């Protein structure tokens, strides 16, 4: 575990289990024992923003212990997906499966939202048993709702955007809505399951 000061009022913690730390720190904030504005998990980090004394907080957390049992803050989310993506045959061949076998594998996997980024509502879903290469040249426009794979992650594009991930399907789910609380449908620590539509 390492602590790095970021700017005047933020602290970056490098840890092996960022979702556990996120859940525990968020519980501390909710209980009024941690004064921070925002807690942002990453692939291998947790960023605490709006910290009055980053050096003092790092000292306090360096010997901190917590119960990691509360990693799942919300019930599993099921997302209906039409598996008809242009890269589905390529990914199936790469995985050594038929297209039907790949769909079975994707719909039987419990994905975990590791962190969010790239675009509002875009969640990096951990759980793939393969490492899927990105496209050599990104597409200039990926439709909203595209379900795609890259490296060890799955994700769903919340809006039309450029992208280099392998598209395996699409969903009608609303990934981001500013009128909803929270606006993002997929939040860190949440389990996500794909269901063939």
Instruction: Look at residues 2, 43, 5 and name the one whose alpha carbon lies nearest to residue 22.
Output: 43
**pLDDT in the model for residue 98:** 98
Mean pLDDT, the chain, integer: 92
Host H or E run for residue 41: strand 38-41
54: Cβ–Cβ under 8 A, 6 or more apart, which residues? 5, 6, 9, 10, 11, 48
In the three-class reduction of DSSP (H, G, I as helix; E, B as strand; rest coil), residue 55 is classed as helix
- Do the strands 77-81 and 191-196 form a parallel or antiparallel pair, or are they unpaired? parallel
pTM: 0.80
Band (pLDDT 50/70/90 cuts) for residue 73 is low
The C-alpha angle 158, 164, 167, rounded to 5 degrees, equals 65
Residue 71 above 70 pLDDT?
no
Distance CA 155, CA 169 (A): 11
Collapse the DSSP code of 129 into the 3-class scheme (helix H, G, I; strand E, B; otherwise coil) and give the result: coil
Whether the predicted pLDDT of 123 surpasses 90? yes
Give the model's confidence band at 69: pLDDT under 50 very low, under 70 low, under 90 confident, else very high: low
Any idea what DSSP says for residue 32? T
Q: Which residues contact 151 (CB under 8 A, 6 or more apart)?
A: 131, 132, 133, 134
The pLDDT tens digits for 20-36 are 888 889 888 989 999 99
pLDDT band at residue 182 using 50, 70 and 90 as cut-offs: confident
Tell me the per-residue pLDDT of 87-121, one tens digit each, with 9 for 90 and over: 999 999 999 999 999 999 999 999 999 999 889 99
Going by C-alpha positions, the residue among 18, 3, 11 that lies closest to residue 71 is: 18
Q: Judge contact between 107 and 90, C-beta under 8 A.
A: no
With contact defined as beta carbons under 8 Å apart, do 34 and 11 qualify?
A: no
Task: Please give the domain boundaries of the chain with CATH numbers for all domains.
Answer: 2-62 (3.30.1360.40), 77-196 (2.40.100.10)
At residue 16 the predicted structure's pLDDT band, cuts being 50, 70 and 90, is: confident
Please give the share of the chain, as a percent, with pLDDT higher than 70: 96
3 state DSSP class of 154: strand
């Amino acid at each position: 575990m390492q602590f790095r000061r970021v700017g005047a009022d933020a602290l970056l913690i490098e840890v092996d289990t960022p979702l556990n730390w996120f859940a525990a720190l968020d519980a501390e904030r909710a209980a009024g024992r941690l004064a921070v504005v925002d807690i942002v998990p990453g692939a291998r980090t947790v960023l605490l923003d709006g910290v009055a004394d980053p050096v003092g907080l790092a000292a306090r957390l360096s010997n901190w212990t917590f119960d990691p049992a509360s990693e799942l803050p919300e019930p599993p989310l099921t997302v209906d997906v039409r598996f008809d993506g242009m890269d589905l045959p390529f990914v199936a061949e790469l995985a050594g499966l038929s297209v039907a076998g790949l769909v079975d594998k994707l719909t039987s996997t419990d994905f975990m939202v590791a962190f969010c980024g790239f675009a509002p509502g875009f969640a990096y879903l951990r759980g793939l048993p393969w490492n899927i290469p990105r496209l050599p040249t990104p597409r200039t426009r990926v439709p909203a709702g595209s379900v795609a794979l890259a490296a060890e992650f799955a994700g769903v594009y919340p809006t039309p955007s450029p992208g280099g991930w392998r598209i395996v399907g699409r969903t009608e789910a609303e990934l981001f809505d500013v009128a909803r609380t929270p606006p993002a449908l997929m939040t860190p620590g949440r389990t996500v399951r794909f269901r063939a539509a």
